[in-house]
Every structure is written in structure tokens, then in C-alpha cells.
Structure 1
Amino acid sequence: MNGGFERHGRVALIRWANPPVNGLSFALRQHLSAALDAAVADVAIDAIVLAGEGRMFSGGADIREFNTPRGVAEPTTPQLIQRIENLGKPVVAAIHGSALGGGLELALGCHWRVADAQASVALPEVKLGLLPGGGGTQRLPRLVGVETALDWIVSGRTVSATKALEAGLLDAVFEGDWLSRAIAFAAGLDPAKALRPTGARAVTPPADAAALFGAAREKARKTARGLEAPLQCIACVEKSLDGPLQEGLAFERQRFVELVNGTQSKALRHLFFGEREAAKPPPDAQGAALRPVQRVGVIGAGTMGGGIAMAFANAGYAVTLVEVTDAALAKGLETIRRNYAATVAKGKLDAAQMQDRLARIHGSTAMQELAEADLVIEAAFEDIAVKHGLFQQLDAIARPGAILATNTSRLDINDIAAVTRRPQDVVGLHFFSPAHVMKLLEIVRGRATAPDVIATVLGVAKRIGKVPAVVGVCDGFVGNRMVSPYTREAHFLLEEGASPARVDQAVERFGMAMGPLRMGDMAGLDISWAARKRQAPTRPRHLRYCHIADRLCESGRLGQKTGAGFYRYEPGSRAPVPDPAVESIIDACARESGITRRAITDEEIVERTMYALVNEAARILQDGVARRGSDIDVIYVNGYGFPAARGGPLFYADTVGLPQVLARIEEFHRLHGPLWEPAPLLAQLVAQGESLSGYVVPTEPT
């Protein structure tokens, strides 16, 4: 990069390239500053146009420079924007692609803003636990009004060029050759009116500011529970109503610095980069030719199968949904129709879109109709004999090269693949319920799964809007393998003295979307009961075992679907009601195990459940079932309700301090026995002073 510019008559065109998103790195800021120097010094230049090269105007700050010296090296982004606003020559921002975050703030500092008709803008910093720190909370209200600015900033929503023009953010929108027209726009500016500093404009107070900001805070507390950034965004926009621009900018900057140095933003940025790493193919699959996937088959029209069918139909795929009987198929299709109708009723889909999506789903009771599918996903009952039978049928029916996937949440992919003559085509696609809503997709790679299959399903995951993570084979893979010790400790805590409500409430106050016992009731206690019975023959007899959940299932308490589990449920209600009958079962199990119940603190509940996750995650990394610590955090936040503001269980452990976490696990080992034996990787990382969330499994040289 250098400080040059292109001359177009009396207009200077300053462009920049910093692939892939033209992030406002220190180097790019230096380039812009030098180019502005040259344009200002040239007496033959009357106006300046700023434009990015490549895909977009600018994706904003270079996030990797946050919390580093380069992030605050001068010129900083706020300094650069302030300089543009105060420049003696008019500056026009010519936006194409996207102008996001600091990129949009750069445009806000310009005197004029024009855009390609296909462009979009956003201030999405709140999604990374931040607020616009380059004047966005102060300049945007001056252009679009306080109420609109508040909505855009607190939601982080993306706004089309057309809507931005209507709102007053843009001065013109161009179809076709946007750059030439932007230059012509700059050349045609009236010199007497060309300088329009955004910051010099007055902010028009809303009719009832107190009510507006009060409602915004209430909404943020409900929808962004525990997150600091939305509330700070609101405070900054509110500050735009008071005093001159410079006071607002100072207020905004102070709060930005607090957030960028805080744990929540660091956690959310960890997940941001973690999701991008998890979506990359493993080394041997990079560059693999992708298999074509246009037609998708789904076996099973129950809750999971129907949701999977919807996920693919929503993304434009043609889906064949197969069930055993006409009655089961009709029930499944009707559930899909009701789900879409509910989305239409909420205004998130229109009737025509609903019909289009329904038309993409073809129901059948004939397995033979899957013969032309490019990808088949079975979502049948979680029984290995059922899976074997289905995959033997698929092996005989599916076309050569078709990808055969199982949605199993625990069973051995290698065992399933072994009944086919094409184990290289078999993969696990573990969706989470409801499959058309939940973002996580565990991609389970079997011993024989071909690299191009992994590369292909990663691409499919992106198209259907999922957050994928490639994992290896073991009982429960990553997510459900970690659930086992987590729920184990919750059950032990019941035996030792806590009530179900006490355990769930402590974990929910920590930030989990739902406590382990409520979660079990919602999922159905019979699912984990079946897994425990399957594991029973290999369970070491000397290890502690809690019978509470088994007793509940034996008495017909299978969770919400039977009206009773760890809690009681009134007809038609999902609200958990504490039940004395459960306390009786807990007391009986404690007596049989020789346990004297005691008072248990919330702190112990959180430590034992969370550190059980951490210890098992370290073992998963040791075993090579996950490739990176960040993959596990991505899985747990997107699939299991772990609070994003804590960055996932491994990032949380690093935040607490890995030495302290290890010391507590060692104490639990002394108090509670071999189930708490510390994972060797934890001791290794503590000794080396390294993090768990940043750990990458070493790859053997080839």
C-alpha cells in the first residue's frame, strides 16, 4: 500500500485493497492517511472519492489487531474518521458490497455517501460484545434519527442500500457502473454546499426519549440476557442527545475501550474466529473436488427428520422424505406444515414462501425413491440394529457416489459404515433439535470416510446455514460425550443434598440456557436411559453410579412428554413444578448409597458441572476426537446452550485460570474418587503455561 491516488479530472479516487474484507488494519490506515495528504496538497483536486477494491468497501476493523499495539497505533480509526470529517475538501464514500462496522463509520465521517444498488451496510459490533467505536453511535443518529439508529446499532442488523437511502444514510444509489457514477457525483458537487460534516448536524430528540430508551433497555435485558454491549450501545446513542459531538465521541470511546478489554468481547471474538476455523476442511480434505448435491433424501419424518427436511428445503434443496407407513408420513408432513404456518404467523415468512418450501418436500413410503438422491440422511430410531438394516438397504438402492449419512447422536459410525460396501461414502451428520432452527451440525468422520465427503458436507452445512464442526468417532462424539459427566455431576449433587430446582437455577444463573435436569425432561429421560443401559455391561463396578434418573424412568416419569420427570408438568404447560415424589426418590437413592445429605452451595454446583465439562473436553482433545479446543467451545455454545458471553467451557476455564481449574479438579478427585481423575492434557498445559481453548491437536507429519 502507498499514498497514491488516481486522478479523474479534478476528482481524486483513493482505493484500497486488504483482502478478504478490506479490514481497517494499521497498514491500511497509514495508506489512507498518506493518500489523503497527497489529495489535499494537490491544488488541482477539488473533491475526493473513497472506494474499496475487491468484494466490498470495508468489513470494518481488523479484529485480530484488537488488544495489540497495532490496534491503537496512530492514525487510529477514530482519528482517521475525524480527519476526513474536518477535511477542507469534500469526501464522497463510494460503497459497494458491504460497509460494515468501522467501514461504515468511515463512510459516516465522509461528507457524502453513495452506493451500488446491491450494497448493504451494518454496524454489527454488538455481536462481538462491542459497540461502534469510531463515532457510529454519535454520527448515525444525526443522519437517520435516534430511533432508527438505536434499532440498527443494538440489533447489529444488515440494511440494504435502498433502505439506507430511504432512511437518509445515503445520498444516492446507483445501478450499474457505481464507481464511475460516484466520481461523476463528486465532480458535480456545488462547491458552496459540498462540505457537510455529519458531526455538525443537530440530533433531533425523539418525542418521548425516556420511554424509547427505557423500552430498549428492557428489551435488551430480556433478549440479550447477561450481555453488556447492548446496554452500552443504548447508553451511547442516548448520549448523542446531550451536548456537542466531541463529548459524545469521548463517552463512546471510553465505553468501547471498557468492552474491548473485557472478558465478554474476548469470549465472543474467540467464538467468531472459532466458527471460521471449525468450518475449514481438515488438511487432507482441503482442495478436494466437491461431490454434487442437489437432491436430498431424509429417512424418518419424526421431529428430527421433519426438521432436517425443512432445513434443506429452506435452502432450496429438493427433498424426498421417506417414512414406513402412510400414517407416519402424513403426520410428519402435517407437522412440517404447522411449523411453517407458525413462522408465517410471526411474520418471518410469507404464504408464497411457505408454499415454495412445502413444494420442495416430497413424501413417500418407498425407499426406492432415494435411488437418485445425492445425499441421504437417516433420522430413524436410535438403535444399532435399525441403523444396520437401513444402511444395508441404502447400500443396495443409492446411486454410486451418493453420500450416506446418519443422524445418530451416539452410535458408532464405523460400525454402521461396515454393513455397506462403500464405507468411504458414510458420514455422521448430527443435527440438533429442532433441526431447522438449531445452528450446530456435528460432522462425524468415520475411519473410512473419504476426504471429498467431508469437504462436500462442510459446503452443504454452509448452504443450509449451519455452524459445522468435524469430529471423530466415540460414544457421544464431542457434545453428548461431554453431557454425560455434566449430567452425572448434576445427579450426584441431588444425592448429596441439592434439589432439582437448586441445581438448575444455579446453572441457569451462570448463564446456561437451561439447567441439566430441565434439559433432560425436555429431551426425554428415556433417551439417556437407553444409553446407560447400553453402556451398563462395560461400566466398571467400582465406580460410583447414581440411580435417581433410572428410578424416575422405571416409574414412568420420562419427562415433559409424560407430564413428569425431575419435575411435574401441568397439562399443556412446559413450566417445571417441583414434585415431592422426586424428593422421595432422591432420599431413597441417597440412603441406599450410604450418602448423608448436606447443604450445597451454588458455587459448588457450578464448579462441579462446568469443570466436569472441562475435564472431559481435555480427554476428547487427547483422544483426537476434536481437532481444536475452539471447536469444542463452538459446539457447546451453538448446540448445548453454553453462554456465548463466556466463550464456551474451555475459554471459560482459561478465563478462570487453568491452574486454578486443575487444582479444583484435583480436589474433587480426592473427595469424590476416580471419576474426577484429571485429564493429563490439563496438567501438561498448566506446566507449559498454555491455554486449553487455543489448543490444537498436533498432526503427524506425512
Structure 2
Amino acid sequence: MSMITTGQDGGVVAVRLAARAINPLSRLFQRELATLLEKLEVRRAKLNAVTISFDAESGASSHELAHLMALTPAQAADCMQMLAAYNRLLLRLENLGLPVVAALSGEVSGHAFGLALACHHRLGLHDTRFSLPQVRLGLAPVAGEIVRTVRLVGLRAAMPLLLDGAQFDAVQARQAGLLHAIAADVAQLARLSVAVQDKGASQPWRARQHSPPGGMPDAPALRALLPVWTARLAGQAPPAAAILCAMVEGMRVNFEQALLIESRYFCQTAINPRPRKDRLYL
């Protein structure tokens, strides 16, 4: 059964993905996503937009854990290569040259949420819920989930989502800047999807003068906040400390370098759950 299905209405391609199948370390999923992107790139000149939605399943965020438990230090290089390949696929989606609209409903969690963050516009039904719960599973988010979240909402607003695995409702996601609009029902969601298709096909952090909300880590308010969070994380699971390091270090470099830093911390938490105390310098 295909993990990705498509349909077309005029110049708009509607893509639907099985949320549970989205896994950056799955070669099968990467092949299906690459095939989709190739088709979209070939037909780009004849298309107006792409919409993406998910077949969500409750609890789908934990499906990857059993696979990751099998990772060993000898597989670190393979882990990094797989993540680099997946990140390139998401960058192709971002750079498609067409507006990519995520029309969201239900529980959007883990890597499904990560893929939605790579879309240019995110719209959600009023009862949609968002989370990146990997820290609760002993892992760090990956595949741009840390990098994009921090660039979209800023360091302070991203902390509950990334460090606590908190769940945001649609209103909270909208207020944070993760969601562009909320729809009362499916019909309004469809209308909003049409309305945003002429609002561009670029990410805010690609703008020359972009600065994340709340500023950089050396902003006075954040400089005072970071030691508090570092102390708080001392008694928590090791992945939380790795996530905070990835958040801060990623803000100090360009987007592509931030993805590499994020991938390193993910592989660290997946392969070796012990914290690297030498990196807790925040």
C-alpha cells in the first residue's frame, strides 16, 4: 500500500501522506517522497500549488522507537547519511517554486509535524493538536524539526514544545507562529487553502534581514533565560540537554549548518543516551 497518494484539481496537486509512515531513517519512505518530488518538479510549470495533508493516527509518534533502539555506534555514519538525504528532500519541497500548503487536522505529531514545518503555509482545523514528543521517548527531534521551529517562533516559545514535548492546540500554535490560520470546518479549511496559494513560496528565514522572534541567544532576555533552563534540565533525561544545545548552536549558523548540528545531536541521543556534559556550556 502506498504511503503517499495524490490527486489533482486544476493546477493544484493534493498530496496525502500516511503520518505513521513518515520516518527520516526509512529508505522506503525516502524513495516514495523522492518519486513524488520528481513528479512535481517535472510538472512545476503547469501547476499553481501543492496541498499536503495527513492520515493521522493517535500515538503514531512512538512508532520509530523500536527501530532506533537497534542503532549502534558503528551505525553513526549511516544515521548521518540517511538524515542528510532526508533533509535534502525537504529542502527540495521548500524550493519547489510553488506554494506548498499544509492543511492539517487531528493530531499532527513528530515527523508529520516536521514535514508540515517544511511547507510554506500551515492551516489547521480548530481542534488540531501539534506536538514534537520525541524528548519523552528519549530522543531529540530531527529532520529540521528543531531548526525550523526555533527560526519560526524563537528560542523562548520553542522551549515547551521541544524540551517538554508539550502539545499545542490550534490557538496556541497560531499564537506561537507555527500556524498561519485556523478553520472552523473542512469547508473553510479548503477555502483558506485556496486563498493562501498566491502568498508566496518561500520560508521566512530565507529573507536577508530575518531575525527569529525574541532575538538571538545573546539578546539580554535570552542570556538571562538560558542558565535557568540549563539548571532545570540537569535533573531531566539526557536528550533534553542535547536538544537545548542544538537549539542554541543552530541559531548561530546558517540553516544548512544548523541541520547538520541537529542531526549530530539526534544521532548522539539515539545511539548513546548518556549526556555530553562538556557541551552544557549555555
Same-fold call, TM cutoff 0.5: yes
* Contact 2:83-2:263 at 8 Å conserved across structures: no
Distance 1:57 1:23, change over 3 A: farther
Question: SS at the partner of 2:117?
Answer: helix
User: Counterpart of 1:609?
Assistant: none
CA contact (8 A) 1:22 1:59 kept: no
Q: 1:110 is matched with which residue? A: 119
Deviation at 1:86, TM superposition (A): 2.1
Q: Aligned to 1:5, what secondary structure does the other structure show?
A: strand
Inter-partner Cα distance in structure 2 for 1:3 and 1:156: 27
Q: 1:210 aligns with which of 223, 230, 241?
A: 223
> Counterpart in 2 of 1:536?
none
1:261 to 271, 277, 282: 271
Aligned-pair distance for 1:58? 6.7
How much has 1:75 moved relative to structure 2? 8.1
Which amino acid in structure 1 is aligned with residue 31 of structure 2?
Q
Q: 1:117 to 1:76 in 2, by over 3 A?
A: farther
**Cα deviation 1:564-606 (Å, max 9, x = unaligned):** xxxxxxxxxxxxxxxxxxxxxxxxxxxxxxxxxxxxxxxxxxx
The secondary structure found in structure 1 opposite 2:53 is strand
Q: Equivalent residue for 1:229?
A: 239
TM-score norm. by structure 1 comes to 0.34
Cα deviation 1:391-419 (Å, max 9, x = unaligned): xxxxxxxxxxxxxxxxxxxxxxxxxxxxx
Within 2, Cα distance between the matches of 1:194 and 1:124? Answer: 30
Task: Give the distance between the partners of 1:45 and 1:52, measured in 2 at CA.
Answer: 21
* Within-5 A mapping of 1:54-453: 55=57, 59=61, 62-66=64-68, 67=70, 73=82, 76-177=85-186, 181-189=188-196, 191=198, 193-200=199-206, 201-203=210-212, 204-205=215-216, 206-222=219-235, 224=236, 227-263=237-273
- Deviation at 1:82? 2.2
Aligned 8 A contact 1:115 1:170 in 2? yes
The alpha carbon displacement at 1:101 in A equals 1.8
User: Residues 88 and 142 (structure 1 numbering): CA distance in 2 closer, same or farther, change over 3 Å?
Assistant: same
Structure 2 CA distance, aligned partners of 1:22 and 1:2?
Answer: 6
For 2:124 and 2:223, the matched residues in 1 are separated by 35
Call closer, same or farther: CA 1:54–1:166 in 2, change over 3 Å. Answer: closer
Contact residue 57 and residue 95 of structure 1 kept, 8 A? no
Mapping of 1:592-631 within 5 angstroms? Answer: none
**Residue 279 of structure 2 corresponds to which residue in structure 1?**
none
Kept in 1: contact 2:141–2:266 (CA 8 A): yes
Decide which moves more: 238-247 or 200-209. Answer: 200-209
What SS does the aligned partner of 1:132 have?
coil
When normalised by structure 2's length, the TM-score is 0.80
Distance in 1 (alpha carbons) for counterparts of 2:123 and 2:133: 20
Contact 1:56 1:96 in 2 (8 A): no
AA in 2 matched with 1:50? I
**Per-residue deviation, residues 413-438 of structure 1 (Å, max 9, x unmatched):** xxxxxxxxxxxxxxxxxxxxxxxxxx
Q: Which amino acid aligns with 2:269?
A: L
**1:629 is matched with which residue?**
none
For 2:127, what is the secondary structure of its paired residue? coil
For 2:85 and 2:107, how far apart are their aligned partners in 1? 21
- Cα shift at 1:183: 4.3
Give the letter for the 1:109 counterpart.
A
**Matching residue of 1:49:** 51
More strand by share: 2
Judged with a 3 Å threshold, the aligned counterparts in structure 2 of structure 1 residues 107 and 189 are, in CA distance, closer, same or farther, namely: same
The 1:92/1:164 distance shift into structure 2, 3 A limit, reads same
Determine if contact 2:4/2:16 at 8 Å carries over to the other structure.
no
Long gaps (5+) in structure 2: 276-282
Task: Provide the residue aligned with 2:29 in structure 1.
Answer: 28
Q: CA deviation at 1:52?
A: 1.3
Q: CA deviation at 1:217?
A: 0.6
> Which residue identity is paired with 1:37?
E
* 1:181 positional shift: 4.2
Q: Distance in 1 between matches of 2:197 and 2:110?
A: 30
Question: Hey, what's the Cα distance between the residues in 2 that align with 1:238 and 1:74?
Answer: 20
Q: 1:186 Cα deviation (Å)?
A: 3.6
Alignment deviations for residues 456-500 of structure 1 (CA, whole Å, 9 cap, x no partner): xxxxxxxxxxxxxxxxxxxxxxxxxxxxxxxxxxxxxxxxxxxxx
Q: Indicate the SS of the match to 2:46.
A: coil
Identity of aligned residues (%): 21
Alignment of 1:547-558 (within 5 A): none
More deviation, 155-164/245-254: 245-254
1:245, distance to aligned residue in structure 2 (A) = 1.2
CA distances 1:47-67 after superposition (whole Å, capped 9, x unpaired): 111111254797487334335
Whether the 8 Å CA contact 1:51–1:57 is kept in 2: the answer is no
The structure, 1 or 2, with the larger RCO (C-alpha pairs under 8 Å, 6+ apart) is 2
Q: Whole-Å Cα distance in 2 between the matches of residues 174 and 58 of structure 1?
A: 24
Q: Runs of 5+ in structure 1 lacking a partner?
A: 266-702
How far apart are the structure 1 equivalents of 2:85 and 2:127?
A: 29
Partners of 1:57 and 1:10 in 2: CA distance: 34
Query: What root-mean-square deviation, in Å, do the aligned CA atoms of Structure 1 and Structure 2 show?
Result: 2.8
Deviations 1:67-91 (A, max 9, x none): 5689765885433322222221111
Checking the alignment, whether the CA contact within 8 Å between 1:96 and 1:118 is kept in structure 2 is yes
Structure 1 residues 151 and 248, CA gap change in structure 2 (3 angstroms)? same
Deviations 1:530-550 (A, max 9, x none): xxxxxxxxxxxxxxxxxxxxx
Counterpart Cα distance in 2 of 1:44 and 1:183: 21
- In the TM superposition, residue 136 of structure 1 has moved relative to its aligned partner by 1.8
Return closer, same or farther for 1:3/1:221 CA change in 2, 3 Å cut-off: closer
Letter in 2 for 1:252: E
AA aligned to 2:106 is G
